[in-house]
């Protein structure tokens, strides 16, 4: 800037414009390189690896689509896929559950803030600890669940030892922190609900259920969207709880794709990296449907503004 | 306000509500309360089969003492700190820059790069597992804290960039324009104009990432083994193998492992919730 006579609205100097073109790339470089190196490239490497047979040590042997063909006749894969589906559907219960608790807690009485934080508590705890806690809760000899069932005259059940119940038992454990997360999203959303609209609807005679459905829930849309995103991702990523609570058992009946993949690729029974990668690719493709939908929603919002 | 504020309800409803709150809370936290109670029971209660009775005496000090002085738990905790803290610093630092780049500048691939970060952040970990494990082995970082930190920093950069970029988008753009008109260099705009305004976002991200990384189990199992580098989430399983069926010690250990993020949450509650619910309101 040479002289004060230059009007401040003058076009930026060429050098400045240059700086503005280069600057974003300099700021992006470290983060972007790291991310490409550790996240984006590995995705493609896994795709490639799924076409090989590899024990992790020797030279990989190209087998084409054999791994995928083998998946078709693998009963354990079928079980895992089916369990993933159960996770996906039942995990969504966290959303209405969270909304319900949020509505229950959305009052102003003394100590309500502490109640809200304590209800949120399960989300902050590591899933490993949640898994341990629920393993004891379900324990057939001393678990609290069976004591409670005993009170109403129901026989002891061994949730984690029963192939038909085990996945539901683990999902229930997973719902505990997930519901807490959805609750906090909805509590924040409820805070921003327009009181005038609520008053107006009330004057029009809208009562609880109709009010909830037609006035409140539409205003909670952003919260619901995020709740969907995190719940679906959480469901497809479920690994910790299964590993801690049952290690896939009994008889592999509680495996999901993410766990089965880990087992195949890194278990003591020999590394089948290529086969594991093929399982991961299937999981990724399932996730891709949702990722594409999320990105599309975000894209519409970005360009809509 | 929805539902109807309870102050407008009859007195009996108000009392009912206030009575119901603690009951619901106890029911909700029942599994945790049980573990907390286990952790202060003496050994003999369990051998007598008295799991749920009132502790025959308070054994909290000896149980927690054993966890801290006679097990590998302090090492695991230390490892967790040495993994979590550098990750938080690294991921927040990188994403301040990427968020700034994507939030402030207009260039053609901007949205695509942003979406790449977002999509990468949603990817199931398992598809990264084999290549990242190989990469870490090749770098000679398998079973080191550094190997784990590098991966965590890279992966968390995805989420952090999403967060930072949206936060920066909401800042008043006139500030940056004004600085440019004044001829302030781009890096100075970042450092002196934007960064000070990002403090709340940095605080929110820091507590969130702390919790995520502290609670990570999958990568701890994939990239480390043994007490010299494993964090507490992975360590607790070996701890439990060591004290099999010693429920009082396993409970005390679990509580110790869970405590740091809980403490973080209660100390930084406002930031934590602000971070988690970013985007939940328009």
In a domain, B281, yes or no: no
Does one domain contain both B83 and B138? yes
Smallest Cα distance from A15 to chain B, Å: 11
Does one domain contain both B226 and B101? yes
Q: Does A106 touch chain B (CB under 8 A)?
A: yes
Does one domain contain both B108 and B84? yes
One digit per residue, the tens of pLDDT, for chain B of length 282 reads 677 788 888 888 888 999 999 999 999 998 888 888 888 988 888 877 777 778 888 888 888 998 888 888 899 999 999 999 999 999 999 999 999 999 999 888 999 999 999 999 889 888 999 999 999 999 999 999 999 999 999 999 999 999 999 999 988 889 889 998 988 888 999 999 999 999 999 999 999 999 999 999 999 999 998 888 999 999 888 888 888 778 888 889 999 999 999 999 988 888 888 888 877 775
Q: Are residues A84 and A286 in contact, defined by beta-carbon separation less than 8 angstroms?
A: yes
Does one domain contain both B76 and B43? no
Adjacent-strand bridge partners of A62: A52
Domain ranges of chain A: 42-73+272-305, 79-250
Name the nearest CA neighbour of B204 among B164, B171, B172. B164
In a domain, B244, yes or no: yes
Structure tokens that stand for A125 in this block? 């705890």
Does one domain contain both B136 and B35? no
Does one domain contain both B40 and B144? no
In a domain, B189, yes or no: yes
In a domain, B42, yes or no: yes
Q: Which of residues 156-185 of A touch B (CB under 8 A)?
A: 176, 181, 184-185
pLDDT (0 to 100) of residue A14: 63
User: How many domains, chain B?
Assistant: 2
Tell me the pLDDT tens digit for each residue of B104-127.
998 889 999 999 999 998 898 889
Q: Which of residues 181-220 of B touch A (CB under 8 A)?
A: 181, 183, 185-187, 190, 211, 214-215, 217-218
**Which CATH number do you get for residue B159?**
1.10.3720.10
Q: Are residues A171 and A256 in contact, defined by beta-carbon separation less than 8 angstroms?
A: no
To 10 degrees, the CA torsion angle through A250, A255, A261, A263?
-20
Tell me the pLDDT tens digit for each residue of B17-67.
999 999 999 999 988 888 888 889 888 888 777 777 788 888 888 889 988
Does one domain contain both B27 and B103? no
Q: How much is the ipTM here? A: 0.90
Q: Does B98 touch chain A (CB under 8 A)?
A: yes
Does one domain contain both B43 and B157? no
What b-and-e string marks burial along B204-223, b requiring 16 or more CB atoms within 10 Å of the CB?
bbbbbbbbbbbbbbbbbbbb
Class for the domain spanning A79-250: mainly alpha
Own/partner pairs for A102-107, CB < 8 Å, 24+ apart?
Answer: A102/A182, A102/A183, A102/A184, A102/A186, A102/A187, A102/A189, A102/A190, A103/A186, A103/A190, A103/A212, A103/B2, A103/B3, A104/B24, A105/A183, A105/A187, A106/A187, A106/A190, A106/B1, A106/B2, A106/B3, A107/B3, A107/B5, A107/B6, A107/B17
Q: Which of B63, B81, B104 is the last residue before a domain boundary? A: B63
Adjacent-strand bridge partners of A53: A61
In a domain, B1, yes or no: no
Does one domain contain both B58 and B100? no
Smallest Cα distance from B51 to chain A, Å: 7
In a domain, B152, yes or no: yes
Does one domain contain both B262 and B203? yes
Smallest Cα distance from A90 to chain B, Å: 19
Domain that holds residue B23: 6-63
In a domain, B201, yes or no: yes
Q: Does B146 touch chain A (CB under 8 A)?
A: no
In a domain, B168, yes or no: yes
Smallest Cα distance from B199 to chain A, Å: 18
Residue A10 confidence class, pLDDT cut points 50, 70, 90? very low
Q: Which of B63, B90, B107 is the last residue before a domain boundary? A: B63
């Amino acid at each position: 800037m040479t002289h004060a006579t230059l009007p401040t609205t003058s076009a930026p100097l060429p050098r400045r414009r240059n700086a503005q073109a280069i600057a974003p790339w300099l700021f992006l470089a470290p983060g972007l390189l790291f991310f490409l190196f550790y996240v984006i490239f590995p995705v493609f490497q896994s795709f490639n690896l799924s076409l090989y047979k590899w024990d992790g040590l020797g030279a990989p042997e190209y087998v084409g689509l054999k791994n995928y063909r083998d998946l078709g006749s693998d009963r354990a894969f079928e079980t895992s896929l089916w369990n993933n589906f159960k996770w996906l559907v039942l995990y969504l219960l966290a959303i209405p559950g969270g909304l319900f608790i949020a509505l229950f807690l959305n009052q102003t009485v003394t100590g309500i803030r502490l109640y809200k934080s304590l209800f949120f508590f399960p989300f902050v705890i590591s899933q490993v600890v949640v898994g341990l806690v629920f393993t004891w809760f379900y324990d057939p000899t001393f678990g609290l669940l069976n004591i409670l069932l005993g009170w109403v005259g129901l026989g002891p059940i061994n949730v984690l030892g029963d192939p038909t119940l085990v996945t539901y038992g683990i999902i229930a454990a997973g719902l505990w922190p997930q519901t807490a997360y959805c609750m906090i999203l909805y509590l924040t959303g409820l805070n921003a609900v327009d009181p005038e609209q609520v008053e107006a609807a009330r004057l029009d005679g809208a009562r609880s259920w109709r009010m909830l459905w037609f006035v409140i829930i539409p205003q909670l849309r952003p919260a619901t969207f995020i709740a969907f995103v995190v719940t679906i991702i959480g469901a497809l990523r479920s690994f910790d709880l299964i590993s801690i609570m049952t290690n896939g058992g009994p008889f592999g009946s509680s495996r999901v794709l993410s766990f089965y993949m880990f087992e195949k690729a890194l278990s003591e029974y020999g590394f089948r990296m290529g086969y594991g990668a093929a399982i991961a690719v299937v999981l990724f493709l399932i996730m891709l449907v949702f990722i594409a939908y999320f990105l599309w929603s975000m894209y519409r919002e970005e360009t809509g503004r | 306000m929805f539902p109807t504020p309870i102050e407008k309800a009859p007195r009996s409803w108000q009392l009912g509500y206030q009575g119901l709150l603690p009951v619901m809370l106890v029911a909700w936290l029942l599994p945790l309360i049980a573990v907390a109670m286990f952790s202060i029971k003496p050994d003999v209660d369990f051998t007598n089969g008295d799991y749920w009775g009132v502790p025959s005496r308070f054994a909290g000090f000896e149980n927690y003492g054993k966890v801290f002085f006679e097990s590998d738990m302090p090492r695991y905790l230390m490892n967790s700190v040495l993994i979590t803290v550098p990750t938080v610093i690294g991921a927040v630092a990188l994403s301040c820059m990427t968020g700034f780049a994507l939030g402030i500048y207009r260039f053609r691939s901007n949205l695509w790069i942003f979406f790449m970060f977002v999509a990468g952040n949603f990817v199931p970990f398992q598809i990264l597992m084999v290549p990242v494990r190989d990469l870490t082995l090749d770098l000679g970082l398998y079973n080191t804290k550094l190997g784990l930190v590098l991966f965590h920093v890279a992966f968390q950069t995805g989420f952090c960039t999403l967060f930072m970029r949206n936060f920066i988008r909401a800042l008043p753009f006139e500030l940056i324009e004004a600085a440019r008109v004044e001829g302030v260099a781009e890096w100075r705009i970042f450092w002196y104009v934007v960064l000070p305004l990002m403090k709340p976002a940095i605080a929110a991200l820091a507590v969130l990432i702390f919790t995520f990384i502290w609670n990570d189990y999958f990568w701890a199992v994939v990239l480390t083994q043994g007490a010299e580098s494993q964090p507490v989430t992975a360590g607790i399983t070996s701890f439990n193998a060591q004290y099999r069926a010693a429920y009082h010690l396993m409970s005390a250990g679990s509580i110790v492992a869970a405590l740091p993020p809980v403490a973080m949450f209660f100390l930084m509650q406002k930031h934590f919730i602000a971070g988690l619910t970013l985007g939940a309101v328009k």
